[in-house]
Structure 1
Amino acid sequence: MRVLVLKASPRRDGNSALLADAAAAGAREAGHEVTVRHLDDAVEGMLRDCRTCRRADGSCGIDDGYERLLLDDLVPADALVLATPLYWYGMSARLKSAVDRLFCFMSEGYPGSGTVLAGLPGKRVGVLIACEESYRGATLGLQAQFQELTRYLRQDLVGVVVGIGNSRGDVRLDPGNPLGAAADLGRRLFDARVTDYRFDTPRDNAVWSSAD
């Protein structure tokens, strides 16, 4: 399976990057094809008003590498791993811009919107957050945002790993072993059980199938 790991921190050797590398290693260990990208290399502009900056042919008028990243890496991927530091109790600005700009390419005005709309659902998604605070509530708002984003796009949020650290490499010292958890998340991207029951969802009483 194809896995895209997106590093959303401007600090390329920071704690969220270490978490991303661990998840990528886990996914490769499981036999998957893994691509790692830095959002800094592709996303330079923020979302604007498409009515004023979309070109006559319907293409996006923001001239950076976002469209290539979206069409060449993100849409074809079977799973996404999003790694971000916690900035002001939310995701990094670069990752927020990447999410916001999906709108331009999902819109009818974009000539390739059919490809984008068909390629976004069904993906398995893992989230990695580097956070200075050990207070559990610090990342809950961001986790909830990822939950709603994946539900809106009909994707499965497989898991969230939070590593505590601020200075470069701090997550290595986190006694909760977030690097190990990130690697495990990468290994289990396509095996982890994801459920989101409604009252009328057909289901067995047994959560896990028996060994035999």
Structure 2
Amino acid sequence: MRIVAISSSPRHDGNSWTLAEAAAKGAREAGHEVETVHLSDFVDGMLDDCRRCRRSDGTCGIGDGYERLLMEHIVPADGLIIATPLHWYGITGRLKTFFDRLFCYTAGSSPVGEQVSAALPGKRVALMISCEESYRGATLAVETQLQELTRYLHQELVGVVVGIGNSRGEVESDPSRPLERAADLGRRLFEVRVTDYRLDTPRSNRIWGPQDATASWSESY
């Protein structure tokens, strides 16, 4: 499988990048093809008014590397490792811009809209967060935002790793061993079972092991 690890930190050697590298290492150990990218190498311009900056042929007029990142790296990928430091209890501004500008490439007025919209669903996503606060609530908004983004895109958020640290590389000293957990998640990116039940979802009474897809919801209680 092809995986892209995306670091959204303005620092190229920070803690979120360290987490992304650990997850990428685990994925490579599992035999997957992994590339790592820095958003700052591709994304400069923020989402603007498409009526003002979209070119006459429908292409995006923001002159940075966003389209190259999307079409050459994200679209062909089977899985994504997304890494962000906690900025004001949210994702980085550059990562938010990355998601904002998906609009320009999924809209019907885009010449690649159908291609991008068809390629985004089905990807498996792992989230890495570096944070200097051990308070559990500090990163919940980020986890919720990525959960809803992946659900909207029909992707699967398979796991979240939070590492505590501030100085460069300090996340390695976190006694909860986030680098080990990141590597393990990278190894199992395409193996983690993701469940999102509704009242009428057919499901087995087994969590692990062989699944009986014909079981009704009542048999799970």
1:48 paired residue number: 48
Matches within 5 A, 1:186-201: 186-201=186-201
1:112 paired residue number: 112
What letter is aligned with 1:133? E
Matches within 5 A, 1:72-151: 72-151=72-151
Q: Structure 2: how far apart are the matches of 1:43 and 1:188?
A: 29
- The SS at the match of 1:45 is coil
1:57 paired residue number: 57
Equivalent residue pairs, number:
210
Matches within 5 A, 1:12-51: 12-51=12-51
Q: Structure 2: how far apart are the matches of 1:199 and 1:120?
A: 27
With normalisation by structure 2, the TM-score equals 0.94
Q: What are the ranges of 5 or more consecutive residues in structure 2 without an aligned counterpart?
A: 211-221
Q: CA deviation at 1:169?
A: 1.1
Q: Identity of counterpart residues, as a percentage?
A: 65
Once the two structures are superposed, residues 111-164 of structure 1 have per-residue CA deviations (whole angstroms, 9 ceiling, x without a partner) of 011110000000000000000000000000110000000000000000000000
Matches within 5 A, 1:164-203: 164-203=164-203
Q: Structure 1: how far apart are the matches of 2:18 and 2:169?
A: 8
Q: CA deviation at 1:5?
A: 0.4
2:156 paired residue number: 156
Q: Structure 2: how far apart are the matches of 1:203 and 1:98?
A: 36
Q: Structure 1: how far apart are the matches of 2:48 and 2:184?
A: 38
What do you get for the CA RMSD once the two structures are aligned? 0.6
Q: Structure 2: how far apart are the matches of 1:119 and 1:4?
A: 14
Q: CA deviation at 1:35?
A: 1.1
Higher relative contact order structure (alpha carbons within 8 Å, sequence separation ≥ 6): 1
For the pair shown, which has the larger CA radius of gyration, 1 or 2? Answer: 2
1:9 paired residue number: 9
Q: What are the ranges of 5 or more consecutive residues in structure 1 without an aligned counterpart?
A: none
- The SS at the match of 1:126 is strand
Spell out structure 1 runs of 4+ moving beyond 2 A.
Answer: none
